[in-house]
């Protein structure tokens, strides 16, 4: 009887470790996909800011006659 109880405990331990590993992997997977989905927007915003700064400089140069 003790052997069966110990075997059951080992099965429970492996099941708990498996479930916790799956949860952690799922959380990190979701976090990573969120980062990847947000990256293009951030890159677009950065490119837009650089283009606007270049346009402001060019317009200032034109007004200054350079």
**pLDDT reported for residue 52:** 92
Average pLDDT rounded to a whole number, residues 45-64: 89
Q: Whole-angstrom Cα distance, residue 41 to residue 35?
A: 10
pLDDT grade, residue 2 (50/70/90)?
A: low
pLDDT tens-digit profile of 18-46? 999 988 888 877 766 666 566 677 777 88
pTM value? 0.41
**pLDDT reported for residue 53:** 92
50: helix, strand or coil: helix
Q: Whole-angstrom Cα distance, residue 3 to residue 14?
A: 17
Higher confidence at residue 61 or residue 28?
A: 61
**pLDDT reported for residue 43:** 79
- The alpha carbon torsion through 57, 62, 64, 66 (nearest 10 deg) reads 100
């Amino acid at each position: 009887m003790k052997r069966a109880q110990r075997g059951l405990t080992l099965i429970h331990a492996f099941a708990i470790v498996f479930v916790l590993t799956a949860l952690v992997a799922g959380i990190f997977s979701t976090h990573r996909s969120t980062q990847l989905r947000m990256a293009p927007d951030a890159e677009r915003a950065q490119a837009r800011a650089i283009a606007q700064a270049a346009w402001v400089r060019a317009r200032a140069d034109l007004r200054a006659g350079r």
